[in-house]
Structure 1
Amino acid sequence: MKTSRRHFLLLSMSAGSALMLTRAAFADTANKLSETDPKAQAVGYKEDASKVDKAKFPGYASGQTCANCSLFQGKANDAYGGCTLFGDKEVAAPGWCSSYSNM
């Protein structure tokens, strides 16, 4: 089967677009902090503050979330944002850890 230059270019563009979308999806999850990460476990990080073990972390108070912590580097309406504790990893805005600070 003979492939025309036009057909080759269309196939190349389709493959390139698919690769870019795959990389974007991977990058989106690659920077999110996992609860199983050793650094996250060391401070009791949870992606959902309502799931914090209050017996294990008595310093937790209702309403404390990463989004209103002074260490959170995201904007108020961001679902995820940077945290000074975790370098290039992003934390969930509704999350919590024992390093919570509102100062």
Structure 2
Amino acid sequence: MKNSRRQFMILSAAGACTLALNGKVQAQAMVAESDPQAKALKYVAVSDVAGKNCANCALYQGKPDSAAGGCALFAGKQVAAKAHCSAWAKKA
């Protein structure tokens, strides 16, 4: 079967959209306290340690005023800005 340039372009665009949307959906998933990696790092959704939370951690990748953001330890998932884990490191 012979494919045309138009078919190739349509399929390429559809594939690119699928990849882009897939990355966006995965980035929106929140880390659950029951996740094995979260348990190993003693992750809690609301910090019980004064002055230490994800928002002021060096590993936090979200904006300072956001409710949640990415974390270098939990690839493809977001952590709550008010959360805390044992890997907390003071942001420079």
Shared fold (TM-score, shorter chain, > 0.5): yes
Alignment-mate amino acid for residue 91 of structure 1? V
Normalized against structure 1, the TM-score is what?
Answer: 0.60
Corresponding position: 1:91 with 2:91: no
Normalized against structure 2, the TM-score is what?
Answer: 0.67
Secondary structure (helix, strand or coil) at the match of 2:55 reads: helix
Identical aligned residues as a percent:
41
Q: Of 68, 74, 85, which residue of structure 2 is paired with 1:80?
A: 68
Which portions of structure 1, spanning 4 or more consecutive aligned residues, are displaced by more than 4 angstroms?
A: none
Distance 2:36 2:57 in 1: 21
* Aligned residue pairs, count: 67
Partner of 2:34: 36
Give structure 1 stretches of 5+ with no counterpart. 1-26, 51-60
Secondary structure (helix, strand or coil) at the match of 1:81 reads: strand
Query: How large is the RMSD of aligned CA atoms in angstroms?
Result: 1.9
Partner of 1:4: none
